A and B are shown apart, each in its own frame.
Chain A
Amino acid sequence: MSVRPAATHINLAVSAQPTRKGSVRITDVVKVYGAAGAGVLAVDHCTFDVPPGEITVVVGPSGCGKTTLLNAIAGFHSISSGSIHLDDELLCGPQKLKARPGPDRIVVFQNGALFPWKTNIENVTFGPIMQGLLSRAEAYEKARDMMADAGLRGIEHNYPGEISSGVRRRVEIVRALMNGPKILLLDEPYRALDSLTKSVMHEALLEIFYKSRVTIFFITHDLEEAIFLGHRVVIMTTRPCRPKKILDIDIPHPRDYSVLTAKRFREFMDETAAAVHEEAIKAFAAGEKER
């Protein structure tokens, strides 16, 4: 075994010093699906910041266009106008409507996108090997450390189909972190999980966050989840999607599940529930009309 200080003592921290990088600035973003003029307006002049090293949660009714925003940051879809910056670097803007996907912005998908034909550790080592950052042996060593650190010891050589969906989600987050991303984009990752598993997953996510301090952009329609996890909560209007209310949640981190019964938590819930409910009713009415 060669002595490689960088590869021997690796924990979930992306680098030795907590990086204060990964700020995203979304400016005046508009997204129209379909032909201009006749198309559907999904995102309407959306402007807000995702502060670096924090968790920003976007809450809105299903189908409101929040995933469109996430896809624009990830570089999967183009925007129609406006701009998105990552650490003051232009991702997409007037000259270049579609960002290039890259390892600095990794998505954890709604229903999970671990490759079912690869074992968990093959999944986790996929990014660094693809990018040629680490040799196979180095990648495996780092992956084993990170998986152990995230409580995933013993399932390295299982296939994703052999583990529970909650554990799969955690493997996928570790796979994302292996790329050393500036920002993690989580698209309703716990939507399909039951509420008990969800609560375990929330604490596990926070634990990973406290260790890595990676910026997190989290999309959900669950207000409680949003306030529990987020430093910042952006409540979206229903389609077209635009920030309706931006709150900075001043409940101190690290948080655990006792927060849910705290007075301050309830105050935030009271303050926002009405706004979210209003949008949910609008979204429901719009859905009825479409039918």
Chain B
Amino acid sequence: MAKSFALKALGFVSGDDFWRGIASIAVFLIFWEVGSRSQALFGFAFPWVSQIPPPSSVLQELIVLIQDPSFWMSALLSTLRVFEGFLAAMVIGIPLGLAMAVSRTFYGITFPVFEVLRPIPPLAWVPASIIFWPTQELSIAFVTFLGAFFTIVINVIGGAQAIDVRYFQAARSMGSSTWDIFRRIILPATLPSIVVGATVGVGITWAVVVAAEMISGGGSAGSVGGSGGGLGFFIWNSYVGGSYTQIVAGMISIGIAGYVSSAVLRKIGKWLTPWLLEN
């Protein structure tokens, strides 16, 4: 029981699934290791893979890094920016999406503007937001916010507009006021879409924060302490310093951070929507 629960918490449905996952990761690592050592092993370099440090060196690098407080400082800084941007996107995006779904007039006014801004990649906002916001920190947070914001809004609108009209009719017949319908029908019916938007959005947030940190030079903290400017700046710094194992180690730590964020949100989502049957 406890074992299967632990597996489920990690996102595996069954024990078979778990072992398949392990096997897949192992095969991937073996190919990578062999590929990056191809010059020494076979006398000729595999294209692309041979340029990358092997996983064994990356692991050694990671072991060194997790003992280094400045690495944790970078990770913490990126996490905080992700958290800020994501939280702001939720706080502004959910009410905005609901309002757009509920009011035809509001939708008519805001949706065209929204749809013009939405396709602009968050990174295209970087120069403008550096000019616009007083500090580097705020401009990074703003760009991070944009990454999650559009995804969340579009999901909320989609979810709220797809609510079956029969739910409204039934609620009206049973004496619900407009506020009751909003609180007891629209909100819970949209919740699954909000969860999807948040889970996808947080992934984008990680992608954006790292790139924004690279471009802007790690924000205020980066300009002072060198490697204190977030994981994006950490990777960029490693590139400048020529430490390829650090680059890959930094990439992997971002992958893990993104995975953990999504897993946490999925967990919260499941707790918020207990009526959705798990498979």
A-B contacts counted at CB < 8 A amount to 63
Does B170 lie within 8 Å of A107, measured CB to CB? yes
Contact A179 B174 (CB under 8 A): yes
Q: Are A126 and B174 in contact (CB-based, < 8 A)?
A: yes
Is A115 an interface position by the 8 A CB rule?
yes
Q: How far is the CA of A127 from the CA of B188 in the complex (A)?
A: 17
Closest to B169 in A: A76
Please tell me if the beta carbons of A106 and B173 are within 8 angstroms of each other in the complex.
yes
Question: Which of A6-14, A26-34, A97-105 lines the interface with chain B?
Answer: A97-105
Q: Are B174 and A131 in contact (CB under 8 A)?
A: yes
Residues of B within 8 A of A103 (CB): 173-175
Tell me which residues across on chain A come within 8 A of B273, comparing CB atoms.
Answer: 117
Tell me which residues across on chain B come within 8 A of A162, comparing CB atoms: 277
The CA-CA distance from A75 to B171 in the complex, in Å, is: 13
Residues B275 and A130 in contact, CB atoms below 8 Å apart: no
A75–B168 Cα distance when bound, in Å, is: 12
Residues of A close to B276: CB separation below 8 A: 161
B174 touches A106 (CB 8 A): yes
Interface 1/0 per residue, B62-100 and A, CB below 8 Å:
000000000000000000000000000000000000000
* B contact residues around A126 at 8 Å (CB): 171, 174, 184
- What does the 1/0 interface line of A31-55 toward B look like (CB < 8 Å)? 0000000000000000000000000
Which residues on A sit within 8 Å (CB–CB) of B277? 161-162
CB-CB contacts below 8 Å: A119-162 with B? 126-127, 130-131, 159-162
Q: Say whether B275 contacts A127, CB under 8 Å.
A: no
For the complex, what is the distance from the CA of A102 to the CA of B191, rounded to whole Å? 27
Chain A contact surface mostly: loop
How far, in whole Å, are A111 and B184 apart by their CA atoms in the complex?
Answer: 20
Shortest C-beta distance, B194 to chain A (Å), equals 13
The reply to whether B173 and A102 form a contact with Cβ atoms under 8 Å apart is yes
Name A168-218 residues within 8 Å CB distance of B.
179
CB distance from A98 to the nearest CB of B (A): 12
> B172 contacts A161, CB within 8 Å?
no
Assuming the A-B contacts A109-B166, A117-B191, are A74 and B274 also in contact, with contact meaning beta carbons closer than 8 angstroms in the complex? no
A160 CB contacts on chain B under 8 angstroms: 275
List the B residue with the shortest CB-CB distance to A108. B170
Asked if A90 lies at the interface with its beta carbon under 8 angstroms from chain B, I say no
Complexed CA–CA distance, A179 and B170 (Å):
12
A residues less than 8 Å from B211 (CB atoms): none
Q: Does A286 contact B (CB under 8 A)?
A: no
Contact call A101/B166, Cβ cutoff below 8 A: no
Please tell me which one of the listed residues B173, B175, B189 contacts residue A117 in the complex, with CB atoms under 8 A apart.
B189
Say whether A101 contacts B169, CB under 8 Å. yes
Within the complex, the shortest CB–CB distance from B162 to chain A, in Å, comes to: 13
Is B167 an interface residue, CB under 8 A from the partner?
Answer: yes
Q: A74-B169, A161-B276 are in contact. List 10 more A-B contacts (CB 8 A).
A: A101-B169, A107-B169, A109-B166, A111-B166, A115-B184, A126-B174, A130-B180, A161-B275, A179-B174, A179-B175
